[in-house]
Amino acid sequence: MEPWEEEGPEVVKRFMYVNRKAPYGTIYALECLEVVLIAAAFDQDVSVVFVDDGVCQLKKNQDTTGIGMKNFSNTYRALDDYDVEKIYVEQESLDARGLTEEDLIIPVEVVAAENLAEIMANQDVVISS
């Protein structure tokens, strides 16, 4: 048996994707979204977290026609279709930017840092970008 076969196919790991970057200044946000959508096809327990400037990825009313880049903000709506339902946004990050839940493009669970720390500590794999 190969090392990667030790765990049976029934094992579900908890994967968390932590988004900390604003959407268009770097490619991280778009790349992470694509990774999440691909990973969602593997029937794992997926959580997506938005902290720091990552919360800006979910800001409503993005219009990129003026900067010649793809507006990928609507793609976050697809997370629900891929059964990615654990979407957490840190309250403190929203507060620092003067944003509220109503400013966001998809329904999320807004959590305080203290609670997010708990959720984060319970993951098997954490991928940050």
> Smallest distance from the beta carbon of 36 to other proteins, in angstroms?
20
User: Hey, what are 2's tokens?
Assistant: 């190969």
| Block residue for tokens 């990667």 | 4
We find the least distance from the C-beta atom of residue 116 to other proteins, in angstroms, to be 17
**77 touches other proteins (CB under 8 A):** no
Q: How far apart are CA 12 and CA 40, in angstroms?
A: 12
φ, ψ of residue 73 in degrees (nearest 5): -65, -30
Binding mask 15-54 for other proteins (x = CB under 8 A): ------xxxxx--------------------------xx-
The closest alpha carbon to 39, from 71, 7, 14, belongs to 14
Q: Which residues bind other proteins (CB under 8 A)?
A: 21-25, 52-53, 56, 59-67, 69, 71, 73, 96-99, 103
